[in-house]
Amino acid sequence: MAQAPFIVSIFKFVLLTSCVKAQFDYFQMVQQWPPATCSGVRCYANPPAMFTIHGLWPSNYSNVPLVCAGQPFNPAQIATLVPQLNTYWPDVISGNNQRFWKHEWDSHGTCSDPPFNQLQYFQTTLNIRTNHNYDLLAILNTAGLGPTATNTRQYGAIEGAIQAATGKKPGLRCNKNAQSKKKQLFEIILCFDKNGVTLIDCTQFAGITCPSQFVWLHRPPLSLVSAVGELKNSLVHQVSILKFLFLCILLSVTIMFRKRFYGTRRGGGKQE
């Protein structure tokens, strides 16, 4: 009988631990607009004009921190997903995609384990991004609210277009453009139930940061440094093409000369 309280205590501890590890209330599916990401930092390449995955973030409706106790990142577990991950979940800043995936798993994915192991976490994220019903750029382009270099966008208009297409309210985040100092669309959040499938309304807990008006650019405006860099890269590229063409012409002339020279010598020998 003396062992009974001890067994009950162990049972309560295991139950409490399990609840704490799965304590999150919902997921934030965060997609970033790479031209906005690259407006304040130097990215390794021109940013793609498409929404890419920032991460799938377990979240709650309070300020209580999550306990993240999932397994360490193991790239072998997501090897079959790498082609899709490279397309939809790239590291647009440095190009080190696997390091980015590891960071997102360590920072957020481990908070969803359980119920999601590493493969399920990344697969669930890809399922959302590749679902045409949640194609944010297509939704906004169809509504005539795509990126523009001239017009400002209204928070209510973009939120309304996405809500009309998906049935649920998104969240919008903005950052400051490094050149113009204007607020610009940076991320769009779709919120999902803990199962990672059911779309739900995003609330103020999603970290909404956009004002009522902001810009949404196709690409970041060129600063003097980036403009010089692009010009340099362009000139290097053009010089490389010219060098290649010159070598081709030189090789062709050499071949023609050799044919004529050796052909004349062979012909002269026969006449003798």
- The residues assigned a catalytic role are 54, 104, 108
CB within 8 A of 259, min separation 6: which ones? none
221: amino acid identity, one letter: P
Q: How far apart are CA 172 and CA 190, in angstroms?
A: 9
Element at 214 (helix H, strand E): strand 213-215
What six digits make up the tokens of 271?
Answer: 């006449």
- Give the Cβ contact number of residue 1 at 10 Å: 4
CB within 8 A of 146, min separation 6: which ones? 137, 140, 216
Minimal CA–CA distance to 173: which of 209, 203, 217? 209
31: β partners: 53, 188
Query: Residue 57, SS3?
Result: strand
CB 70 within 8 A of CB 203: no
Q: How far apart are CA 216 and CA 185, in angstroms?
A: 5
